[in-house]
Amino acid sequence: MPEPQEMRDVYGRRYRVGETDRDLVGRSRNWVLWSAWAAMLAAGVQQYGFGAVVPVLVETHRLTDVVWALALWTVCQAATAFPAARLRDRGRLSPAFAVVTGGVLCGTGLATLAHATSLPVLYLGYSLLGGVGAGLVYAACVGTVVRWFPERVTSKVGIVSGAFAYGCVPFVLAAGFVLDTGSRIPFLDIAALVVLVLIVAAGVTLKDPPRHWWPAHVEPRAWALDKARRRNQSAVRQYLPAEALRSGAGAPMFLAVALAAAVSLFDLAFLATFSGTDPLWAAVALSALAACTGGGRVLVGRVSDHLGRRRTWYLSLLTGSAAQFVLLWGGTHDSPAALLWGACLAGLGTGCCYTLLVALVREFFGEESGLQNFGLLYSAKALGGVLGIGVAGAVVTSHGYPVAFVAAGLVGLIGALLTRALVQPGRSRLLPTP
């Protein structure tokens, strides 16, 4: 194997060059990409498939109690990202161990949905264990793909994070046909087994490259200079997590992620019950939401290459905000077409937030602590879960769906305006920003 060398570019970024992916692991790095994709495909069922289980759970529990299970799941899943990234940067958590452990916990979460008869058991098994498991899978898969594809972060992260959303579509459609009180246990037990096997089988193959590894076929300094001439410029310097939060851009980004997550999770939790009593139609609406969320994450990288990350984020959140009013009109006027269109817009809007966040964090705060900074800002999703599911559930119960959807639209608009005002740390506000 050739002797690796280290070089730096004008921004101080370090590159380890001279080794190919086949030199390191004996096969193409695409193998890692598709293994991470498969693990994320299964892990996202707990989040994006939960809405399909809600109509069954509300037969024995109040709606507000049921949706709090998803809110707590979101808190646990999002809160896992930062400590997992920190442990990985310190070499104390391998991607294989994280994903395999996460797969066991994800299977436990779905099995709990099948068998739990009390809320404490539901919150412990699904929300806590299942949430932590999904968080481990998400953090490990995104982190591993970022390390193997440093020159194409947004497009490759879009592939794996998109799978986290659209992977639930078969589950949701099957639930619309067969899931009821009588079939709940066998249906969810089979789903738990499939999720467990798929995540574990994919996880055991994951391995990180050496720190700062760079693909041999791309000249890093030329790449850095080319990137400097484009809309999405590299960070002025490298920021530690605490420095990123104090930079002036960290806090608005954190709040924007929280508000975007609140809108997205509100739709996910309540769309099935808002769509009416037909479980099949509710499944179709949820599937459209998840499919467009996943598909949007795949496409958003290419769009943001041309429009700029920040501008694309702004437009996507603006779309998610408008989608709330389309959904409200469709539901109150009994229009399936409008509901379906609103679900697609909602998925394309707020659902793209996390893919763009990975690239924005690296371009605002640098790559050295990129995964930790992403984990820190991604944890804002926990606040979004409390607002968009827990608090929104109380609003739905006390004031009805119209007030809740109008509030969700306004929250999404505020999130969009926050992203509009973002400026890369170290660059003047007087200069044009992409």
The number of residues making up the chain comes to: 434
Per-residue pLDDT of the chain (434 residues; tens, 9 = 90+): 567 888 887 667 788 888 889 988 889 999 999 999 999 999 999 998 898 898 899 888 888 899 999 999 999 999 999 999 999 888 899 999 999 999 999 999 999 999 998 999 999 999 999 999 999 999 999 999 999 999 888 889 999 999 999 999 999 999 988 988 899 999 999 999 999 999 999 999 999 999 889 998 888 877 776 665 566 777 778 899 999 988 889 999 999 999 999 999 999 888 877 876 567 777 888 899 999 999 888 888 788 888 888 899 999 999 999 999 999 998 888 888 898 999 999 998 887 888 889 889 988 998 888 889 999 999 999 999 999 998 998 999 899 999 999 999 999 999 999 998 888 887 655 444 44
Distance of alpha carbon 168 from alpha carbon 185, whole angstroms: 18
Burial class, 131, CB count within 10 angstroms (exposed 0-12 / middle 13-18 / buried 19+): buried
- Looking at this protein, which amino acid is placed at residue 392? A
- Structural domain boundaries enclosing 267: 13-420
Centroid of chain to Cα 315: 18
269: which 2 tokens? 């939790």
Does some domain include residue 433? no
Residues facing 14 on adjacent strands: 8
Domain count, the chain: 1
Distance of alpha carbon 263 from alpha carbon 83, whole angstroms: 25
- DSSP state letter for 387: I
91: which 2 tokens? 């070499």
Does some domain include residue 282? yes
Biggest alpha carbon–alpha carbon distance for the chain: 67
Q: How much is the pTM?
A: 0.91
Residues facing 5 on adjacent strands: 17
Does some domain include residue 431? no
Closest CA to 154 of 230, 95, 88, 55: 230
Q: Is 124 helix (H, G, I), strand (E, B) or coil?
A: helix
- DSSP state letter for 235: P
Burial class, 6, CB count within 10 angstroms (exposed 0-12 / middle 13-18 / buried 19+): exposed
16: which 2 tokens? 């380890």
Decide if 357 contacts 375 (C-beta within 8 A): no
Does some domain include residue 434? no
Q: Which residues of 229-244 are buried (b: 16+ CB within 10 A; e: fewer)?
A: eebbbbbeebbebebb
Burial class, 418, CB count within 10 angstroms (exposed 0-12 / middle 13-18 / buried 19+): buried
Does some domain include residue 188? yes
Does some domain include residue 220? yes
Does some domain include residue 289? yes
- Residue 412 contacts by C-beta under 8 Å, 6 or more apart in sequence? 259, 260, 263, 317, 318, 320, 321, 324, 349, 350
396: which 2 tokens? 């739905």
Measured on CA atoms in the order 161, 167, 172, 173, is the torsion positive or negative? Answer: positive
**CATH for 357:** 1.20.1250.20
Does some domain include residue 310? yes
